[in-house]
Amino acid sequence: MLDSKIPQGPIESKWTKYKSTVPLVNPANKRSLEIIVVGTGLAGASAAATLAELGYKVKSFCFQDSPRRAHSIAAQGGINAAKNYQNDGDSVYRLFYDTIKGGDYRAREANVHRLAEVSGNIIDQSVASGVPFAREYGGLLSNRSFGGTQVQRTFYAAGQTGQQLLLGAYSGLQRQVGLGNVRLYSRHEMLDVVNIDGKCRGIIARDLVSGKLERHFGHAVLLCTGGYGNVFFLSTNAMGSNVTAAWKAHKKGAFFGNPCYTQIHPTCIPVSGDHQSKLTLMSESLRNDGRIWVPKRKEDAAAIREGKLNPNDLKEEDRDYYLERRYPAFGNLVPRDVASRAAKERCDAGFGVNKTGEAVYLDFAFNMKYKYGKQVATLKHITDPTEEQLTAFGHEVIKEKYGNLFDMYKQITGVDPYKNPMMIYPAVHYTMGGLWVDYNLMTTVPGLYALGEANFSDHGANRLGASALMQGLADGYFVIPYTIGAYLANEISVKPISTDHEAFVKAENEVSDRLNKLLAIKGTKPVDYFHKRLGKIMWDKCGMARNVEGLTWAISEIQKIREEFWKDVRVPGDANEFNPELEKAGRVADFIELGELMCKDALERNESCGGHFREDYQTEEGEALRDDENFKHVAAWQFNEVGNWTLNKEDLVYENIKIAQRSYK
Amino acid sequence: MSGNMNINLKVWRQKNGKSQGKLVDYKVEGVSPDMSFLEMFDVLNDRLVSEGKDEPIAFDHDCREGICGMCSMYINGRPHGPNQGVTTCQLHMRSFKDGDTIVVEPWRAAAFPVIKDLAVNRSAFDRIIASGGFISVNTGNAQDANSLPIAKDNADEAFAAAACIGCGACVAACKNSSAMLFVSAKVSQLALLPQGDPERNTRVLNMVAQMDTEGFGACTNTGACSAECPKEISLTNIARLNREYFAAQLGSDRS
Ligand SMILES: Cc1cc2nc3c(=O)[nH]c(=O)nc-3n(C[C@H](O)[C@H](O)[C@H](O)COP(=O)(O)OP(=O)(O)OC[C@H]3O[C@@H](n4cnc5c(N)ncnc54)[C@H](O)[C@@H]3O)c2cc1C
Ligand code: SF4
Ligand code: FES
């Protein structure tokens, strides 16, 4: 059984008590302790900056050309915090409760409570570092609602919340770089971890410009390397997002938690063609004001698909606002997994509205006119506004709220969303699974930590919107600076280990052998060919709906892809130069191995929960059917060799929340 | 679902920072108007790899949503191509015509040396931020966020300046390779917020000094930067930077 090291005591005081009893490292000792932070997203940048402020010697790595470009930059909608600024009944407990329930009772209580506790500090810290959140006319911070909650606790900066938060954390990081407390290694890719005597002691990184391999020692190593949604090839993640860092750690002893828990986001721009390289999210915040519908009659859907009917002309009573119909209490704001499945259900039943039949409408016309248009008319003292006036007034409000998202939609699709309802379809977005960590965020390898999306910790089987940014910054700003002390307090006498140590030499040789092997295959197919094939299998068999037959087939098919990849991939150029194809090849090789584990995990979990929907486990109404008796645990996979794992379990204990069937009706 | 446009590309090829580069012709067939500009490069690279004659073209990109600032192509003499307010990754082939010839080069500036083909080194921007583009507040020092109300207009203006994605198109667009628009966006954002006030003078002085050290040119107010900026960062930021700079040189206290 895995030890999650949850502190004793009542949930409300666990973290407070932990903080005041955790061993401390004195300032003089901190200066001789070195920490490697891989990743400069919200988790990595906030951790690196904060640890440097505390006095540790920090090295920070990212594969982009600047830390500011980490994938967190792309987050749109917002960040949650239990501030209760809106006086609508929010509290730490409610955020804790919503997160556990949203995660379909598959997250660890103690971690989630801590997350809710520090959420408010994140907003304070971000504002203090200059993050320009949206404000009301009175000068105070503004909030909006996200899915799976009934309060307004989401802070935002138009549709660029991730950008603004990351630039805040990045500026703190750069300040420490300027002060000489952090050494920055951008355009560097970590390709292995180095363990010595059972502890993690460093990494092997490749300088992506020169191609040279480097050895770096650290008393501790933090992986803040993001999620693995790109295993599906098409996802909303940035092109470079990958699993390599986490996967190397996994192969060196770190258990992988709940790999099959992936989040399919309901509101993305549908696929337009084979050339498609990625999918674009339309922020969940749009569900505040956009209503989701398909035609009630199949004939109308068919006519729309053939371009014979304009959706704007379809009468109200002929539209099926299926989320409002099925889930009256939460309506368009049900959690993501529920909304995604409902869209798939309608499209599979023949009600899809684009050429491929895989799209539903997200329509702003109603709220544009009757919510915002009327509000503005009232403010302007116009008692009898015309329909045109209402539209024009509402247009302005919608533009202020979502302007950049509407522009992006138009840019990509060529269709004006102010005039036509948006077309959306679910797409892979986030991975709840990741490296297993204990309460200290330490993996099963001592000294090796995982933060942010790279760990499995806080979101159970489904993450609520605006909670990833919160978790990344919680981990980096407020959790790791304390919990790492528990480990490093015992390391103060450890002198930096020479990188000539045989463990470093061996790890570097392995990395270099693998790169050379990839280059030597000189097969016939580009890397993307394999990535696309893998992605299609994952989407079809391990996506929104899964079943035994499909998963079993997928596993054997992925094994075949792996074999073919290592025989027939073609990677041009050589290892001692800037070589993006070589980078991609290494990442896809890891995705292939991961894909198999995801399917295995999905096959093993004989229940439906959150984002993991097994067709063989559903209620009569088509809702996810959990099996708490047999599956109320974290599946933590231990790597033996490629294609061979041992399953370990961490039992989840609910002492503060009564587990129940999730209901958003 | 490929399309029916044929495009003639002239692409800058340069093995590395030390070698000479030149424009090389490529024909890309079956381009769909729904493809993004970078997806057209994917198609071409796929072909180059499969044919095995020429190495694929190296270019920077990541988010492909216009927000990370990584993509950076100089297209037909304009950074990020023909459209206003759009990054390279958000440019779609429907903005071009069948049979068009398109010239694609890297950003050109002494402070942005070429790494390979279309990828350049922009770490000078990181060093400028490290010299002063921050508020010195350690984690844990912050007071309650709402204890500091900020007038919505100021907050909105600071946000507009903060929208800069650090892509460097402003530098590439400028005949002097000046980084003034980039620097002024950060200086403005922090000068407009009360949190930024205490370090106002040192910030602007240090950032401008670092900008000069990095080898960016002087600003002669031609405005090409703002015209080509994908986030439409306004020239008023440069005016504000100048005011901040002169006031700081005089050591004036503006609080
Ligand atoms: C389009 C989109 C919109 C989103 N919107 C929201 C939102 O509104 N609210 C919300 O809460 N969440 C949102 N999310 C989710 C959220 O953005 C991410 O979960 C979160 O930003 C992840 O942060 P991170 O710090 O864990 O990792 P990332 O930001 O992904 O950073 C990973 C870092 O690791 C580095 N790295 C990775 N591998 C290596 C390696 N091998 N060597 C060296 N460096 C490496 C990268 O260079 C990068 O610096 C969104 C996600 C997407 C895709
Ligand atoms: S000011 Fe505009 S062009 Fe310059 S770096 Fe910022 S976003 Fe790019
Ligand atoms: S790839 Fe991120 S802005 Fe273009």
- Which residues are within 8 A (CB) of A342 and not within 5 positions of it... i.e. 6 or more apart? A266, A322, A323, A326, A334
Q: Is B185 in the pocket of ligand 2 (CB under 6 A)?
A: yes
Check which CATH number belongs to the domain holding B10 and give it. Answer: 3.10.20.30
Q: Any idea what the Cα angle at residue A276 is, between residues A79 and B122, rounded to 5°?
A: 60
Q: Are residues B209 and B106 in the same domain?
A: no
End position of a domain, from candidates B116, B145, B163: B116
Compare all CA atoms of chain B with the CA of A278 and give the residue at the minimum distance: B64
Question: A412 in contact with B at a CB cutoff of 8 Å?
Answer: yes
Q: Is A190 in the pocket of ligand 1 (CB under 6 A)?
A: yes
Q: Is B109 in the pocket of ligand 2 (CB under 6 A)?
A: no
Structure tokens at B86: 């759009």
Do A239 and B61 lie within an 8 Å CB cutoff? yes
Do A69 and B189 lie within an 8 Å CB cutoff? no
- Measured by CA distance, the residue closest to atom 21 of ligand 1 is A72
Number of domains in chain B: 2
Please report, as a single letter, which amino acid is at residue A80. N
pLDDT at A401: 83
Per CB-CB distance under 8 Å, the chain A contacts of B145 are: 83, 123-124, 126-128, 133, 141
Compare all CA atoms of chain B with the CA of A129 and give the residue at the minimum distance: B135
Burial A219-246 (b: 16+ CB within 10 A, else e): bbbbbbbbbbbbbbbbbbbbbbbbbbbb
Per CB-CB distance under 8 Å, the chain B contacts of A574 are: none
**A residues 12-71 lying closer than 8 A (beta carbon) to B:** 46, 49-50, 53, 64-69, 71
CB A442 within 8 A of CB A455: no
- Measured by CA distance, the residue closest to atom 30 of ligand 1 is A226
pTM: 0.97
CB B121 within 8 A of CB B115: yes
Question: Given the structure tokens 């971000």, which residue do they identify?
Answer: A126
pLDDT at A163: 98
For ligand 2, the distance from its centroid to the CA atom of residue B179, given in whole angstroms, is 9
Diameter of chain A measured on Cα atoms: 82
End position of a domain, from candidates B116, B140, B155: B116
Cβ neighbours around A653 below 10 Å, total: 12
3-state helix, strand, coil in chain A (%, to 5): 45, 15, 40
Q: Are residues B128 and B230 in the same domain?
A: yes
Q: Are residues B215 and B230 in the same domain?
A: yes
Q: Are residues B142 and B231 in the same domain?
A: yes
Q: Is B229 in the pocket of ligand 2 (CB under 6 A)?
A: yes
Q: Are residues B49 and B149 in the same domain?
A: no
The rounded distance, in Å, linking the Cα atoms of B171 and B167 is 9
Q: Are residues B14 and B131 in the same domain?
A: no
The rounded distance, in Å, linking the Cα atoms of B34 and A415 is 12
Q: Are residues B187 and B172 in the same domain?
A: yes
Three-state DSSP class for residue A665: coil
Please report, as a single letter, which amino acid is at residue B61. H
Do B145 and A134 lie within an 8 Å CB cutoff? no
Domains of chain A: 265-428 (3.90.700.10), 512-633+642-651 (1.20.58.100)
Structure tokens at B112: 């942005």
Check which CATH number belongs to the domain holding B140 and give it. Answer: 1.10.1060.10
Q: Is A455 in the pocket of ligand 1 (CB under 6 A)?
A: no
Low-confidence ranges of chain B (pLDDT < 70): 1-2, 252-255
Tens digit of pLDDT for each residue in B117-150?
999 999 999 999 999 999 999 999 999 999 999 9
For residue B224, the enclosing domain spans 123-251
Q: Count how many pairs of residues, chain A against chain B, have C-beta atoms within 8 Å.
A: 232
Compare all CA atoms of chain B with the CA of A75 and give the residue at the minimum distance: B67
CB A277 within 8 A of CB B36: yes
The rounded distance, in Å, linking the Cα atoms of A137 and A141 is 9
Name which of A125, A408, A572 is nearest B66 (Cβ-Cβ). A408
For ligand 1, the distance from its centroid to the CA atom of residue A161, given in whole angstroms, is 13
Q: Are residues B112 and B127 in the same domain?
A: no
Question: A211 in contact with B at a CB cutoff of 8 Å?
Answer: no
End position of a domain, from candidates B116, B139, B174: B116
Which stretches does DSSP call E strand in A112-225?
154-155, 182-185, 188-196, 199-207, 213-217, 220-223
Q: Are residues B17 and B98 in the same domain?
A: yes
User: How far is C-alpha B112 from the geometric centre of its chain's CA atoms?
Assistant: 11
Atom of ligand 2 nearest to the CA of B166: 5
For ligand 2, the distance from its centroid to the CA atom of residue A66, given in whole angstroms, is 14
Low-confidence ranges of chain A (pLDDT < 50): none
Per CB-CB distance under 8 Å, the chain A contacts of B122 are: 65-66
Catalytic, A336? Answer yes
For ligand 1, the distance from its centroid to the CA atom of residue A406, given in whole angstroms, is 23
pLDDT at A665: 80
The rounded distance, in Å, linking the Cα atoms of A14 and A340 is 36
CB A22 within 8 A of CB A7: no
- Which residues are within 8 A (CB) of A563 and not within 5 positions of it... i.e. 6 or more apart? none
Do B121 and A65 lie within an 8 Å CB cutoff? yes
Do A158 and B159 lie within an 8 Å CB cutoff? yes
For ligand 2, the distance from its centroid to the CA atom of residue B161, given in whole angstroms, is 10
Give the pairing type, strands A319-320 and A422-431.
unpaired
| Top mutation candidate among B231, B232, B238 for ligand 2, by most atoms within 8 Å of CB | B231
Do B50 and A525 lie within an 8 Å CB cutoff? yes
Q: Which one, of A463, A487, A496, A479, lies nearest residue A19 by Cα?
A: A479
Question: A415 in contact with B at a CB cutoff of 8 Å?
Answer: no
Q: Is B86 in the pocket of ligand 3 (CB under 6 A)?
A: no
The rounded distance, in Å, linking the Cα atoms of A451 and A43 is 6
The rounded distance, in Å, linking the Cα atoms of A107 and B85 is 42
Name which of B34, B135, B193 is nearest A272 (Cβ-Cβ). B34
The rounded distance, in Å, linking the Cα atoms of B179 and A397 is 34
Q: Are residues B31 and B96 in the same domain?
A: yes
pLDDT at A622: 84
Q: Are residues B130 and B217 in the same domain?
A: yes
Q: Is A582 in the pocket of ligand 1 (CB under 6 A)?
A: no
pLDDT at B1: 46
Alpha helices in A384-479 (DSSP H): 387-413, 468-473
Q: Is B158 in the pocket of ligand 2 (CB under 6 A)?
A: no
Q: Are residues B135 and B169 in the same domain?
A: yes
